[in-house]
Homo-oligomer: A and B are copies of this chain.
């Protein structure tokens, strides 16, 4: 794959100076249109060998274009915050919003490639990480992003020449790190493994563009012109609408479903409730301070119809915890900033560090519930949502989080009773809106969506807990007990 990038590509000074003004103007135009319409973001990855001019090109792009709309991010070794969270967290945080260009100097490819070159990872594990990257990038392009991946290459001889000449010049000496020469010693291995990575991750939607890094004129013009062509193409295309190409899911033909199988008559007497509440809150409090929990975290998702008791369930958990240890995230309609990012971005933001709890009052499952039922997104979008959510949760669990997903079920009659009750009580009246009554009319559509959701996202590592919620006492204890038992089993 690197044959063409060892030919000694060159562009003369004359030609370069003739081409650059036109290119800059066109890039600025395209960038302006991008920022005005804000229909998608551009994610530009720069990877490759040391000394191939990655930094120079990134600086030049910032110079050629309007740096207000460019986010340049350089990734070095992860810090404490980042080490406590899944590998992809830092990259999610750095994603540019729609309308902007993000230049990633070093990226999600760096660590897997380096780990493999250094022998810290086996081929099968390496391939697995590469496939995860393919899925991640597919999510980005499915969400509309333009993903451009440049790999700067130098032949062995040219890398040597280049590193030596950078080192001779006092102005550029700082750019040749110790590690650059260490890596040079493994040139062949690095090349072979990079080629493998590029091959497996070069997709039709986000192909790698290999650029010879020796001649700066050639390198800069190639990157600039490729970026321009891709940007113009995408701006043209994004004026058209996207076809919704989904697979039709049918509701179960006998109308028997997982929600209908719940015994909503389950209940707990008040004194029994109070006894158990004491017991499990005490237990949870202990567990949250257990040494075995220091490197773990809890992520709990609460979903259910309006007035199901999500808030109450959360409250009984937080009552047991030190306020510095938890965060409750109420999920409502996304903000402008959140809408300008891929769907899952707003949730990645809130991932807890070690020893902490994050409780979501509604969650990423909105994609396959409200967005599906209300047709806020296309069928194809929510269908791929199942996979994206499973991948996302897999990362959380692999990173050591306890992930709980509670669906609190209530009957339609119980909901009505609670609505009427709330309207009577002054301080609870704000909790009932027109929208709640409207949602009620779509009860059956929501039931279908919930059943599909459980079928497609309840997995061995991240199962759903369906909670019979007509009796609040019963439901709250069920939730606390589920938390305590799983955490206790694993850490003690």
Contact = CB atoms under 8 A, between A and B. Distances in A.
B249 A207 contact: yes
Query: Which interface residue of A192, A222, A245 has the most chain B CB atoms within 10 A?
Result: A245
A237 B245 CA distance: 8
B390 A252 contact: no
B250 A455 contact: no
Quickly give the copy total for this chain.
Answer: 2
A333 interface: no
A61 to B, nearest CB: 16
A283 B10 CA distance: 43
A53 to B, nearest CB: 15
B237 A250 contact: no
A11 B387 contact: no
Contacts of A431: none
A248 interface: yes
A195 B457 CA distance: 10
Interface in A206-232: 206-207, 210, 218, 221-222, 225-226, 229-230
Contacts of A218: 253-254
A111 interface: no
A103 B392 CA distance: 33
Contacts of A79: none
A127 B258 CA distance: 29
Interface of A: 1, 3-4, 7-11, 122, 124-125, 127-128, 131, 192, 195-196, 199, 202-207, 210, 218, 221-222, 225-226, 229-230, 233, 237, 240, 243, 245-250, 252-254, 256-258, 261, 380, 383-384, 386-387, 390, 451, 454-456, 458-460, 464
